[in-house]
Structure formats: structure tokens, C-alpha cells
């Protein structure tokens, strides 16, 4: 799955799942542009990686950063990974919570595709969106998150349909729980002294009995963005340890 001579953009690519994607892309020869909200100094990995400070919820900012990239090199791959979460049902979700998640998880994906699509048409490139198991099944106390990830899934189908004749492929993946630093921080903040107990409990919600590793998710993204997957578009791939099908 060689990505030599290809340029990729990965949003939120300096931490968690995004960092794993950045690393596997760079290890396979891609030049990777990482869009991050906060300043990041350096990613400790081998490969050609450039980090740009960018708020994906701000179209003018996204358009400028991506425009600067595509003025100097062709764009082959866009991975919309940046996203934020919220815990709560509709009664526990404020208007501000809903707007905050919409702006990043939905508008952020829209902004990056809109700013990239002309360049991707020229290279017959690939778009990969990070959806979620919450795009497919009801998850308790994840109202706003589920709403936004459902939108990511249907945006994937719409873009794939609209641009198949232009040679642009658009797919998504739907992870279940993935063991990232975010999970460890969430447990430490909300369950002090019970971190191990709650980690085991959350791990067992996947029928396979554990959370995914970020590298496992990144390897699926690598395949779907590579030429090996050239016949695949308009698809969503759950990577969920059996959560969607085997929990019913």
C-alpha cells in the first residue's frame, strides 16, 4: 500500500487515532499535512510531515491553509478525523453543546471537503471520513455526538454519489471504542480510583473483549486511501470488534 509521491491531509492528525493515521501514511511514503487546532511542535516519527495550525470549524481558515498547500503540490488524500465528543441525552445537551459539536464534527468535515474537492478532482483522489458506531446504533447518553456522526455517514454517501464520475472516491469508517489518551483522561477525570474497573467495563462492551488499538484503525484507513482500494467508494466500514452486529 505504497503512498510514495502522494500528498495527504489529516485533520486532528497529531493525537489519538489521527496520530496513528499520520504515522502510517508517512511510513508508507506520503507527504502528510496535519491540521491541528492547537500549536504542535513536532511529531516524533520518521517521514515527511508538516503541521498547520487550523480551526476546521472556520471555513476561511481551512480554505486558506488547504489553498496554500494545493498551490504548491497536488492533493491525493483527505482524511477528516478531527472530532469532539459530548456525554448526555437531549435533556442534558444545551444549545451551546449542540452548536459546538456541529461546528467541528459536521461543519468541519464540510469545510475540509469543500476546500479540497477541486484539487481532489484533478488527482482523482480519495476522501476518508471518520464516522462512528453511533452513526448506526443508539448509544446511551450520546445524543449530540450521535447526531453529528450520523451526518458524517450520510455526507460520505452524498459526496461519493456526486463525485464518482469525477473519479473521486469517498468512504468512511465507524470505529467502536479505541484506546487513546483521551480515554485514559476521561476515566481519570470521571472515575478517579476506579480507572481500571471502568476501563475493563468499557472494553467488554465490544464482543471481541477489548478496545481497538489506534494502529488497527489507521491500517484500515491506509488501505481505503490507497490504490489497492481503487474499486471502493460510497462505503462505510465498521471497525468495532463485533459491536454493531453481535450485540443485537
Q: What is the pLDDT of residues 73-129, one digit of tens each?
A: 999 999 999 999 999 999 999 999 999 999 999 999 999 999 999 999 999 999 999
CATH topology of domain 7-176+213-239: Rossmann fold (3.40.50)
Q: Where are the domains of the chain?
A: 7-176+213-239, 177-211
Residues in CB range of 177: below 8 A, 6 or more apart: 183, 202, 203, 205, 206, 211, 212
Cell of residue 85, nine digits: 465528543
Residue 12's Cβ-count burial label (10 Å; 0-12, 13-18, 19+) is buried
Distance in angstroms (rounded) separating the CA atoms of residues 244 and 248: 7
pLDDT value at 42 more than 90 = no
pLDDT value at 65 more than 90 = yes
pLDDT of residue 78: 99
Q: What is the pLDDT of residues 179-219, one digit of tens each?
A: 998 899 989 988 999 999 999 999 999 999 999 999 999 99
pLDDT of residue 45: 67
pLDDT of residue 41: 62
Q: Which position among 145, 157, 191, 237 bears the catalytic label?
A: 145
Neighbours of 221 (CB within 10 A): 26
Cα 121 from chain centroid (whole Å): 21
What does the pLDDT average to over 29-54?
Answer: 86
Owner of C-alpha cell 465507524 = 174
Distance in angstroms (rounded) separating the CA atoms of residues 13 and 1: 20
| 145 given a catalytic annotation | yes
SS3 88: strand
SS3 210: coil
Neighbours of 210 (CB within 10 A): 13
Identify the bridge partners of residue 78 per DSSP, sorted by sequence position: 9, 127
Amino acid at each position: 500500500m505504497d503512498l510514495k509521491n502522494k500528498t495527504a491531509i489529516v485533520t486532528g492528525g497529531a493525537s489519538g487515532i489521527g496520530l496513528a493515521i499520520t504515522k502510517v501514511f508517512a511510513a508508507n511514503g506520503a507527504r502528510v499535512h496535519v491540521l491541528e487546532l492547537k500549536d504542535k511542535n513536532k511529531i516524533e516519527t520518521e517521514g515527511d510531515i508538516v503541521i498547520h495550525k487550523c480551526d476546521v470549524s472556520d471555513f476561511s481558515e481551512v480554505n486558506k491553509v488547504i489553498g496554500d498547500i494545493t498551490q504548491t503540490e497536488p492533493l491525493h488524500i483527505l482524511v477528516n478525523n478531527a472530532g469532539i465528543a459530548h456525554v448526555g441525552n437531549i435533556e442534558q445537551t444545551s444549545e451551546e453543546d449542540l452548536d459546538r459539536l456541529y461546528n467541528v464534527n459536521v461543519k468541519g468535515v464540510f469545510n475540509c471537503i469543500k476546500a479540497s474537492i477541486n484539487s481532489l478532482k484533478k488527482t482523482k483522489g480519495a476522501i476518508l471520513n471518520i464516522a462512528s458506531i453511533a452513526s448506526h446504533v443508539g448509544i446511551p447518553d450520546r445524543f449530540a455526538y450521535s447526531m453529528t456522526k450520523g451526518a458524517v455517514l450520510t455526507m460520505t454517501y452524498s459526496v461519493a454519489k456526486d463525485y464518482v464520475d469525477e473519479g473521486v472516491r469517498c468512504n468512511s469508517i465507524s470505529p467502536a471504542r479505541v484506546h487513546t489518551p483521551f480515554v485514559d483522561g476521561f476515566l481519570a477525570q470521571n472515575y478517579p480510583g476506579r480507572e481500571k474497573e471502568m476501563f475493563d467495563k468499557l472494553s467488554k462492551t465490544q464482543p471481541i473483549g477489548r478496545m481497538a488499538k489506534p494502529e488497527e484503525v489507521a491500517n484500515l484507513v491506509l488501505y481505503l486511501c490507497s490504490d489497492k482500494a481503487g474499486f471502493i467508494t460510497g462505503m462505510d466500514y465498521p471497525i468495532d470488534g463485533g459491536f454493531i452486529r453481535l450485540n443485537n
